[in-house]
Amino acid sequence: MKALPEPVRLRSGDLAQVGLEGLRGRPLRAALSALGIAIGVAAMVGLVGISTVSKAGLMAEIQRLGTNMLTVTPGTSLTGQEARLPAQAEGMAARIPGVTGVSAVGAVTGASARRTDKIDSATTNGIAVQASRTNLLDALGGTVRTGTFLNPATSRYPAVVLGSVAAERLGVDRTGGHVYIAGRWFLVTGVLDTVKLAPEIDRSALIGWDYATTLGFNGYATTLYERSTDETVASVRDILGYTINPEHPEEIQISRPSDVLTAQAAANRAFNALFFALGGIALLAGGVGIANIMVISVLERRQEIGLRRSLGATRGQIRLQFLTESVTLSGLGGAAGVVIGLVVSLGYAVFRGFPLALPGQAITGGALAAILIGAVAGLYPARRAARLTPTEALATT
């Protein structure tokens, strides 16, 4: 009795060709099946990519603005009364070793900024009138969108510089016009860009410190902006309150505006887990679709399976054939999803003017997840196909 011949081994190229044959025979079904995986991977890469780009833009903004600015405001006294910064607060802060610059603004109480004198004085539009030092922009790292900032000359006259939000609310987009403040007309000499580290300045109408005294300004700063070197910012923060007000340091509130931006970056990292979960849910839905399509494919191709089995194909080769189809299907969907996600995230970066940061973890994770889900989804249909005997498969009409 002759021994049965050894089954022919399928090389990798042959296996890929056989596996792809089923996809080429049903291109529309394959495309629709891969679409579910593509949507899941695109959601994962796109959402995480947008978060990564936003974080990169935020970190670049923090790097540009610096983390060495401290803001000093008055707190409350032990009796619950509103405290006041000492008159010599600026000079005292400037004496601290490591401090490179100090500036201040002071609220002009009772004053409101309006477009014309025909508007009710009670209508403030949320715009604060503040006296400003001429070196304010140096301390804030701010820029002027149009015009010029206050200088020693204009600060002695009725001139005003508007924050970005204040200018928008007053309908002012250029210099040379006038706004009505505390019963007087002020010439608009400048409009500021958005000040990231001091959003309160965006909603302010800034007038000269000297001229503000003619409007009843008491000369006391309500907010102090201090810059120090990167190496000394922590030590300056520790002693700033004691230096400004040695008798009542507890009445001094000190904050670091860049901490808010850093917290936003940390929040972006926290949302990445949520975005991965959302993409994972879509991937699972795509995997179920692939499993369903592969089961139908096995039922439709029973005669093909029987013919291959009768020609000597082993159960393992049949199993690998259908598993290859499933993994290839999900891999193609994953590749399409990665491309779509990258286009979305890079398009968002260009639109917002952020650095082009690629979501490496999302790209790798999405591609691997797609392949893994394809393998899992194809496992049952592949085993089902391999269990068919040649007679069972060829008997199907």
DSSP-derived letter for residue 76 is B
276 SS3 class: helix
**Domain shared by 133 and 202, yes or no:** yes
Count: domains in the chain: 2
Alpha carbon distance 249, 75 (integer Å): 10
Taking the CA of residue 268 as centre, how many other CA atoms within 13 Å lie in the half-sphere pointing to its CB?
20
Residues linked to residue 106 through DSSP beta bridges, in sequence order: 131
* 18 is a domain residue: yes
Indicate the pLDDT class of residue 169, thresholds 50, 70 and 90: very high
Q: Where are the beta strands (DSSP E) in the chain?
A: 69-74, 99-107, 113-114, 128-132, 144-147, 159-162, 178-181, 184-192, 204-208, 223-228, 252-255
Domain assignment present for residue 131? The answer is: yes
CA 245 to chain centre: 39
Q: Do the beta carbons of residue 196 and residue 67 sit within 8 Å? A: no
Domain-embedded: residue 350: yes
CB 140 within 8 A of CB 202: no
Residue 283: pLDDT over 50: yes
> What's residue 320's pLDDT?
75
Taking a C-beta distance cutoff of 8 angstroms, is the pair 391, 359 a contact?
Answer: no
What pLDDT is stored for residue 391 in this prediction? Answer: 66
Q: Structure tokens of 84?
A: 């006041």
> pLDDT for 104-139, tens place per residue?
999 999 899 998 888 877 777 889 999 999 999 988
Residues 147 and 244 in one domain: yes
Q: What is the pLDDT of residues 83-99, one digit of tens each?
A: 888 889 898 999 999 89
Closest Cα to residue 203, out of 219, 213, 192? 192
Q: Which of 206, 226, 257 is the last residue of a domain?
A: 257
The answer, yes or no, to whether residue 29 has pLDDT greater than 90, is: no
User: For residue 290, what are its two tokens?
Assistant: 């692939």
> To the nearest 5 percent, what fractions of the chain are helix, strand and coil?
55, 15, 30
How far apart are the C-alpha atoms of 164 and 197, rounded to whole Å? 14
Domain presence at residue 6: no
Is residue 3 domain-resident?
no
Q: Which long-range contacts (CB under 8 A, 24 or more apart) does 97-100 make?
A: 97/232, 98/228, 98/229, 98/231, 98/232, 98/233, 98/235, 98/236, 99/226, 99/227, 99/228, 99/232, 99/236, 100/227, 100/228, 100/229
Chain centroid, CA 253 distance in Å: 29
Both 146 and 203 in one domain: the answer is yes
Q: How far apart are CA 74 and CA 70, in angstroms?
A: 13
Q: pLDDT value at position 82?
A: 81
Looking at the structure, tell me whether residues 383 and 283 fall in a common domain: yes
pLDDT of residue 266: 61
Strands 223-228 and 178-181: unpaired
Looking at the fold, whether 48 and 183 belong to one and the same domain comes out as: no
Check residue 4 and give its pLDDT. Answer: 46
Residues 115 and 181 in one domain: yes
Question: Rounded to an integer, what distance in angstroms lies between the CA atom of residue 96 and that of residue 240?
Answer: 8
Q: What is the mean pLDDT of the chain?
A: 80
Give the pLDDT band of residue 376 (cuts 50, 70, 90): confident
Kindly state whether residue 2 falls inside one of the protein's structural domains: no
The verdict on 154 and 221 lying in the same domain is: yes
pLDDT tens digits, residue range 216-235?
899 999 999 998 887 888 88
Check residue 301 and give its pLDDT: 66
* Same-domain check for residues 90 and 166: yes
pLDDT above 90 for 144: yes
Q: Are residues 87 and 187 in the same domain?
A: yes
For residue range 303-334, list pLDDT tens digits in order: 666 666 676 667 777 777 777 777 777 788 88
Structure confidence at residue 321 (pLDDT): 73
Q: How far apart are CA 122 and CA 110, in angstroms?
A: 10
Residue 228 main-chain phi, psi, to 5 deg:
-135, 175
| 20 confidence band (pLDDT: 50, 70, 90) | low
pLDDT of residue 1: 47
Residue 20 domain-assigned (yes or no): yes
User: Token pair of 349, please?
Assistant: 């970066």
Contact 118, 127 (CB under 8 A): no
For residue 7, being part of any structural domain is answered with: no
What share of the chain has pLDDT > 90, as a percent?
Answer: 23
Top mean-pLDDT range of 37-51, 107-121, 194-208, 339-353 = 194-208
The neighbour count for residue 280, using CB atoms within 10 Å, is 17
pLDDT in tens, 233-269: 888 888 988 898 888 888 888 888 767 666 665 656 6
How many whole angstroms separate alpha carbon 116 and alpha carbon 194? 24
155 confidence band (pLDDT: 50, 70, 90): very high
Please provide the DSSP assignment of 374-393 as one string.
HHHHHHHHHHHHHH--HHHH
Position with higher pLDDT, 116 vs 32: 116
SS (H, E, C) 89-121: HHHHHHCCCCEEEEEEEEECCCCCEECCCCCCC
- Token readout for 41 is 């991977």
pLDDT winner (highest mean) among 55-64, 244-253, 276-285:
244-253
> How far, in Å, CA of 330 to CA of 338, rounded?
12
The pLDDT assigned to 107 comes to 93
Range in 14-28, 57-71, 84-98 the model is least confident about:
14-28
Q: Strand pairing of 128-132 and 204-208?
A: parallel
Answer whether residue 299 shows pLDDT above 80. Answer: no
Point out the domain boundary residue: 200, 222, 257: 257
62 pLDDT exceeds 60? yes
Q: 85 and 32 share a domain?
A: no
Whether residue 354 has pLDDT greater than 50: yes
- Looking at the structure, tell me whether residues 247 and 275 fall in a common domain: no
pLDDT at position 154 over 90: yes
The last residue of a domain, from among 257, 278, 305: 257
Q: Which of 12-26, 147-161, 275-289, 326-340 has the lowest mean pLDDT?
A: 12-26
Q: Which domain holds residue 101?
A: 69-257
